[in-house]
A and B are shown apart, each in its own frame.
Chain A
Amino acid sequence: MATTTIKSSKQATLPVGSIILWIILLIGVWAAIVRYSQGLGSTNLADSRPWGLWIAFDVMAGVALAAGGFTLAAIVYIFRMKRFYPLIRPTLLTAYLGYLLAAGSILFDLGRPDRFYHPFFYWNHHSVMFEIAWSVILYLSILTVENSQLVLEKFRLHALLRIVRKITIPVVIAGIIISTAHQSSLGGLFVLVPNQTHPLWYTPILPVLFYISAISVGLAMVIVESTLSAKAFDRPVESHLLSEIGSWLPTMLGLYLLVNLGNLAVSGKLGFIFEGSLASFMYLAEIIIGVVAPLILLSFASIRNDSARLFQSALLVVFGVIFNRFNVLVWGQNGAFYVPNWVEFAVTAGLISLGTLLYIFAVKNLPVYTDHTPEPEQISEEAPLPAAG
């Protein structure tokens, strides 16, 4: 295949994609105008359903999907598996965009977005939500530092770049700590509502389940987004790296399954799985499609070594975690029937489009892919040891 044909096909497809993204974004802007001029009454949220699509998908699932950032940073910088370095920049960039969009959607969901800064000034250390608010802001700052390298390199601000590289290790460790805290606390929010959450999803160890599933889906997202952006930007897929990541997933998924089922067994709730209700059906669908199926598929080296099938298996994990967050947050909660309305869908779709457009812009203008960047050996080699503890 000659490079020229690839080039021309790229020029033909990308603008069409971008135009669609821009249209979705504009519809989202229209929905945003509706939401801000009419209040939350313009959505399908109601007293019996105070949280809906924006919290379940944009915030809960979005933050879990962005867990690849801290996981891969741990793998590369802490566990020193430097061969994964080529994946770190695109992954940290998507994590950054993911968190920015989650924070953005909170501005739609808050009844009083003009008071978004209140958690800084009014503290309630009993509140799990208070802890999450702080964690998300702190982690956004950490992602800003981590991603600042892209901009600093581009504009050759070497003095600053040197400082940022020197503090890489402490920053990465802080990121891991904060991610551990808030990824699990997102599950902790529902530990407070034992009576309103269906027994299949209610457990005091919900934070543990959220944490394990966030790491799994974070890794799966590395596979998904690397494959997609390789397609979009006509780059070779880092297949050996991705299939190695794929080989870790069965362990994580197996652990999740073990803790989940073990917990149901210990608390005597296994019977609910086969109760034949809508909830039991949802639970089975979530576990079989999102956990068991990819666990089995990814156990085969032949599937892991086939980019397309690896991608599809990883997509199952992503689907499973999104489904799980909806189950815990919406369908597993007592309350009236709820489906989001067009305003909610349009805002969410608009935010995703915005994120994708920003990603495309960044890849085109910043050294996201490591061809342009120094050898991994140069990165943080001289970084000081972090203060222990």
Chain B
Amino acid sequence: MAVNRRDFLKLAGAGVGSLVLAAGHTEPAAAESTPEEARRHPSMLYDTTLCVGCRACQNACRNWNETTAELNSEGMYDMPTDLSGSTWTIIKLYEEETAEDADAPGIFSFIKRNCMHCLDPACVSACTVGAMQKSPEGPVIYDVNRCFGCRYCMVACPYKVPRYQWGTTTPLVQKCTFCFGYVQPEGVVDDKNRLAQGLGPSCVEACPTGALSWGPREEMLEKAHTRIKSAPGKYYEDRVYGEHEAGGTLQLVLSHVPFTKLGLPTLDPRPLPSLTDPLNWSVPGIILGVGGLMSAIYVNRSQAEFKTKED
């Protein structure tokens, strides 16, 4: 899948011809997966009705991935308020106050945010250098050695997931890896890769209430739809968020309040990369079209010049 630096230097050293070759080799194995292919991909289901907001998942993520704890303005460790370069998953609380009595508990819901691990991810399509990759196993992972920090992935992600390490001079883009670790050279397994060890993500393991479930995508979807069927009206629009959003995601969400209230955007089922793919395909057309047109105009004009000179 990925070529490590030494291989790459060997290839690059062989000249421009092999540059093309090198590029062919360094191309991530898969840019996207179809819902069909994703059926067996590992998937996570989060159910707002079961979440009690204990944040065990948030801390488990920090512990396993060794992300630094966040400091508040007084320099003390404090609860983060959003995803960041060192917070890859977060529990947020949405609350709606009832109009009559502000003190009475209104409708509320927790929401766990992390990378949705899209089937056809915008960040992977956007990444200039192919640092964001769709692994053949499913999770969307990142190559720390490739990224040069253009931050187009951050602009492109419809869920605003990738975050940057703003405070350092050698920053990386950071996001949930589904505990799959970073992209590694052929044959090397990241010690942060829990999936390779036959474990699920650390957040799922930590969840005490069953609000998080883990398994192949088709099983998670089935589980979600069974929950919806067994309690009609309990879940918002009887819909599983992530089943179709922007082509579908491996992270699925069941909620009893509207998804937009939880910061989950309303997205067309069309995968976002399909919007820009035609642009890059059009490049040969531009070369032929514009090149041909300009050549024709030039020939035509210079012949006219020649004629006027003859006369």
Interface residues, chain A, CB within 8 Å of chain B?
36-41, 45-48, 50-51, 74, 77-80, 109-113, 115-116, 118-131, 133, 169, 173-174, 176-177, 180-181, 184-185, 188-189, 191-196, 204, 207, 333, 385-389
Name the one of A36, A207, A388 contacting B279, with C-beta atoms under 8 angstroms.
A207
Complex Cα distance A278/B220, Å?
43
Name the one of A47, A185, A386 contacting B154, with C-beta atoms under 8 angstroms.
A47
Contacting residues, chain B, for A39 (C-beta < 8 A): 166-169, 171
Complex Cα distance A119/B22, Å?
12
**Nearest neighbor of A169 in chain B, beta-carbon distance:** B298
Contacting residues, chain A, for B164 (C-beta < 8 A): 40, 47, 50, 111
10 closest A-B pairs (Cβ-Cβ)? A111-B149, A123-B23, A115-B148, A122-B129, A124-B130, A80-B301, A50-B154, A50-B151, A129-B128, A41-B166
**Interchain Cβ contacts under 8 Å between A and B, 9 examples:** A39-B169, A47-B83, A47-B160, A50-B164, A51-B155, A128-B126, A177-B291, A184-B279, A191-B279
B128-163 CB contacts (< 8 Å) to partner A: 128-131, 146-152, 154-156, 158, 160, 163
Q: Contact between A119 and B128 (Cβ–Cβ < 8 Å)?
A: yes
Q: Contact between A125 and B280 (Cβ–Cβ < 8 Å)?
A: yes
Complex Cα distance A385/B127, Å?
39
A82 to B: closest C-beta gap in Å: 9
Name the one of B31, B166, B275 contacting A192, with C-beta atoms under 8 angstroms.
B275
**B247 within 8 A of partner (CB):** no
Complex Cα distance A122/B8, Å?
10
A43 to B: closest C-beta gap in Å: 8
Contacting residues, chain B, for A180 (C-beta < 8 A): 286, 290
**B287 within 8 A of partner (CB):** yes
Contacting residues, chain B, for A189 (C-beta < 8 A): 152, 155
**B199 within 8 A of partner (CB):** no
Given contacts A80-B302, A109-B150, A115-B147, 19 further A-B contacts (CB under 8 A): A37-B169, A38-B169, A39-B167, A77-B298, A80-B301, A110-B148, A111-B147, A111-B151, A112-B147, A112-B149, A118-B128, A118-B129, A120-B19, A124-B130, A126-B276, A130-B129, A131-B283, A333-B155, A389-B295
Complex Cα distance A169/B301, Å?
13
Contacting residues, chain A, for B273 (C-beta < 8 A): 126, 192
**What bracket does the count of chain B residues touching chain A fall in?**
35 or more
Contacting residues, chain A, for B296 (C-beta < 8 A): 388
Contacting residues, chain A, for B28 (C-beta < 8 A): 124
Q: Contact between B279 and A185 (Cβ–Cβ < 8 Å)?
A: yes
Q: Contact between A195 and B265 (Cβ–Cβ < 8 Å)?
A: yes
Contacting residues, chain A, for B148 (C-beta < 8 A): 110-113, 115-116, 118-119
Complex Cα distance A353/B142, Å?
38
Complex Cα distance A326/B155, Å?
15
Given that A47-B163, A112-B171, A121-B19 are known contacts, is A126 also in contact with B128, CB under 8 Å in the complex? no
Q: Contact between A173 and B295 (Cβ–Cβ < 8 Å)?
A: yes
Contacting residues, chain B, for A37 (C-beta < 8 A): 169
Contacting residues, chain B, for A118 (C-beta < 8 A): 128-129, 146, 148
Q: Contact between B287 and A177 (Cβ–Cβ < 8 Å)?
A: yes
Contacting residues, chain A, for B150 (C-beta < 8 A): 109-111, 129
Given that A110-B149, A110-B150 are known contacts, is A126 also in contact with B155, CB under 8 Å in the complex? no
Contacting residues, chain A, for B272 (C-beta < 8 A): 192-194
**B184 within 8 A of partner (CB):** no
Name the one of A45, A110, A131, A192 contacting B122, with C-beta atoms under 8 angstroms.
A192
Contacting residues, chain B, for A128 (C-beta < 8 A): 126, 276, 279-280
Complex Cα distance A385/B208, Å?
75
**Nearest neighbor of B12 in chain A, beta-carbon distance:** A121
Q: Contact between B129 and A173 (Cβ–Cβ < 8 Å)?
A: no
**B49 within 8 A of partner (CB):** no
Name the one of B82, B267, B291 contacting A195, with C-beta atoms under 8 angstroms.
B267
B264-311 CB contacts (< 8 Å) to partner A: 265-268, 272-273, 275-277, 279-280, 283, 286-288, 290-292, 294-299, 301-302, 304-305
Q: Contact between B166 and A122 (Cβ–Cβ < 8 Å)?
A: no
Given that A39-B167, A47-B164 are known contacts, is A78 also in contact with B294, CB under 8 Å in the complex? yes
Complex Cα distance A127/B132, Å?
11
A9 to B: closest C-beta gap in Å: 42
Q: Contact between B298 and A129 (Cβ–Cβ < 8 Å)?
A: no
Q: Contact between A121 and B275 (Cβ–Cβ < 8 Å)?
A: no
Contacting residues, chain B, for A80 (C-beta < 8 A): 298, 301-302, 304-305
Name the one of B128, B160, B267 contacting A133, with C-beta atoms under 8 angstroms.
B128
Contacting residues, chain A, for B129 (C-beta < 8 A): 118-119, 122-124, 130
Contacting residues, chain A, for B83 (C-beta < 8 A): 47
